[in-house]
Amino acid sequence: MIETIARLKGRAAGRVADRLATEDDVGARKTLNNILVMMGKEIIPELLEGLSDARWYVARNTVRILGEIGESNGVEDALRSSLAHKDPRVRKETVRALSMIKGPETINLIKSVLDDSDSSVIELAVVSLGLLGDEGSVQDLIDLVEERADSGAGREAVRALGRIGSRKAVAYLIRNLEKRGWFLGKRDDELKVICVSALADAGTPDAVRALEAGLSSSRDAVRNACEDELRRIKHE
């Protein structure tokens, strides 16, 4: 039945989308969502109309479906407006969708929300940049750490640098692990422990050497973290 409806594509897309907008049952919504995804890129022009719907959840659902379809042509530009949507839930879904689409403008569009008014949007954007592994994002992430180290976004930026693992990212992480001060007290240790984990994720020879040097740290938390991460690397 689902496949039959999906094959109707443009002839049924509007009705399925309308039903999705009013359906209360979670299971039914998932089924309707999957039907629209199965219809594929042929229904994208019709889906794009949902981005301007006054109901935030309709816009969010539309963005999610576009992301799962995964077509970038004509979609990335349309999603610019969703990145500026008044509801942060739509903006977050747009970041997720862009990460799935992975088009030519994905990185720049995600970077554009690094100064978003909602911290959860920034954190998701930072995580996405790390998972996408774009070396061109390293300086943006470093700047974010420097400006907002003692925040969720700053901590995620440290982790993202480890996931990218470029020479510049690793060098920055090593400098922050080795220097005496970043912040004072326990917060300093927390950030350095995250830095240790990020270096382990990078896994480069320089990163591993920095972790080995960290075994002689005067800080218990840092020393123990280095020991744990080196053990993890050895058994991977």
Are 100 and 147 members of one domain?
no
pLDDT recorded at residue 33: 80
Q: What is the 3-state secondary structure (H, E, C) of 134-201?
A: CHHHHHHHHHHHHHHCCCHHHHHHHHHHHHHCCHHHHHHHHHHHHCCCCCCHHHHHHHHHHHHHHHHH
Instruction: Give percent of the chain above pLDDT 90.
Output: 63
> Alpha-carbon distance 199 to 210, whole Å?
8
Q: What is the dihedral of CA 125, 127, 128, 131, to 10 degrees?
A: 160
Are 37 and 67 members of one domain?
yes
Are 175 and 71 members of one domain?
no
> Alpha-carbon distance 98 to 124, whole Å?
12
**pLDDT (tens digit, 9 = 90+) per residue, 165-177?**
999 999 999 998 9
The token duo for 90 is 């739509």
Are 79 and 93 members of one domain?
yes
pLDDT recorded at residue 144: 94
Mean local confidence (pLDDT), 133-138: 94
**Cβ distance 156 to 126 under 8 Å?**
yes
CATH number at residue 74: 1.25.10.10
Are 46 and 118 members of one domain?
no
pLDDT bin (cut points 50, 70, 90) of residue 184 is very low
The token duo for 100 is 């799935």
Q: What is the 3-state secondary structure (H, E, C) of 53-103?
A: CCCHHHHHHHHHHHHHHCCCCCHHHHCHHHHCCCCHHHHHHHHHHHHHHCC
Among residues 92, 109, 126, the one where a domain terminates is: 109
**Cβ distance 44 to 69 under 8 Å?**
yes
Please list, residue by residue across 82-93, b when 16 or more beta carbons sit within 10 angstroms of its beta carbon and e when fewer do.
bbebeebbbbbb
Q: Which domain holds residue 147?
A: 114-236
Among residues 46, 79, 109, the one where a domain terminates is: 109
Question: Total structural domains in the chain?
Answer: 2
Among residues 78, 109, 140, the one where a domain terminates is: 109
Are 80 and 40 members of one domain?
yes
Are 83 and 174 members of one domain?
no
Nearest Cα neighbor of 60 from 39, 38, 41, 79 is 79
**Cβ distance 121 to 88 under 8 Å?**
yes
Nearest Cα neighbor of 189 from 149, 221, 153 is 221
Residue 5 pLDDT > 50:
no
Residue 124 CB burial class (10 angstroms; 0-12, 13-18, ≥19):
buried
Nearest Cα neighbor of 169 from 41, 177, 150, 99 is 177
pLDDT recorded at residue 31: 86
**Residue bearing tokens 């990185």:** 107
| SS3 state of residue 184 | coil
